[in-house]
Amino acid sequence: MSAGDTFAGTQLRLVARSAKPAGTVVDIRGVRIGGHEIVIMAGPCAVESEAQLLSVARAVKAAGATVLRGGAFKPRSSPYSFRGLEQEGLRLLALARTETGLRVVTEVMDVRQLPAVAACADILQVGSRNMQNFTLLEEVGRCGMPVLLKRGMSATLAEYLQAAEYIMAVGNEQVILCERGIRTFEPSTRNTLDLNAVPMLQRQTHLPVIVDPSHGTGHAWMVPRMACAAVAAGADGLLIEVHCDPAQALSDGANSLTPEAFALMLEQVAAVAAAVGRATRLTLNSETAAAPV
């Protein structure tokens, strides 16, 4: 095993850029995260009903998303908040995947949930609160499925990369990093979206890096600007919350874009992506449509 690199006093082996200088591309049934295309993952914070989920899934696919996000198990600060439909939510995610062809990313909170979540998902999400749940990290690693690892709300980048090492150390190289904002002294936003993390992580590791501006800001009106900024900083993808009626959402309505606002945002993101030499599904589809026959 390679000795790896040292970053902020921490020894990195498997995640270090030197282990794979060309970078890792995680292939999710043909959706390649870490390649030329900026991959868009979008959907509701929580699965609420069949009508809600299918409506959002169809809308985000039409706008240019290729991965559907949606929570069946929700970690909430209050035990009295809506914590997801659980098994029924997983069933609905599987239904949406079948109907739309979108890949599915959803959170797993506990090793006991793994078999059920793995059966309906294409990507296992480990949320911010579980970034240092080392038993869970090892078990999702052993599943052999792609893992979306969110940065802990108070984690340094060195701590974050060590968490990724836990997943890779059991043989799983399909790890996607997600910057979702960190807790600071600033109260005007839900979190402080650390876009410094994107180029720094890409310098230190070969893993793809995506950004979640929905949780990173907590304000729907800020999401398009920070999504564009994330792409300009070099992000390989975006994780966006979308709801057909944010005011009535059972979880994170303040963060959520309407389908119309989401579609407009993707046009802006496509322009920024083109400026930095990247593409989105929106621009790729346009190029295909414009190609001579």
Residue-wise pLDDT tens digits, 228-273: 999 999 999 999 999 999 999 999 999 999 999 999 999 999 999 9
Mean pLDDT of the chain: 94
CB 54 within 8 A of CB 99: yes
Residue 232 is part of a domain; what is its CATH number? 3.20.20.70
Interatomic CA distance for residues 76 and 83, integer angstroms: 6
| pLDDT tens, position by position, 190-238 | 999 999 999 999 999 999 999 999 999 999 999 999 999 999 999 999 9
Return the pLDDT at 288: 60
Return the pLDDT at 55: 98
User: For residue 278, what are its two tokens?
Assistant: 């990247």
CB 242 within 8 A of CB 260: no
| 26-28 and 31-33 beta bridge pairing | antiparallel
Domain around 269: 5-74+81-290
Number of independent structural domains in the chain: 1
| pLDDT tens, position by position, 12-49 | 899 999 999 999 999 999 999 999 999 999 999 999 99
Measured from the Cβ of residue 29, the count of other Cβ atoms closer than 10 Å reads 10
- Helix (H) or strand (E) segment spanning residue 61: helix 50-63
Does 293 score more than 90 pLDDT?
Answer: no
Return the pLDDT at 28: 97
CB 175 within 8 A of CB 138: no
Of the candidates 91, 35, 94, 88, which has an alpha carbon nearest to the alpha carbon of residue 68? 94
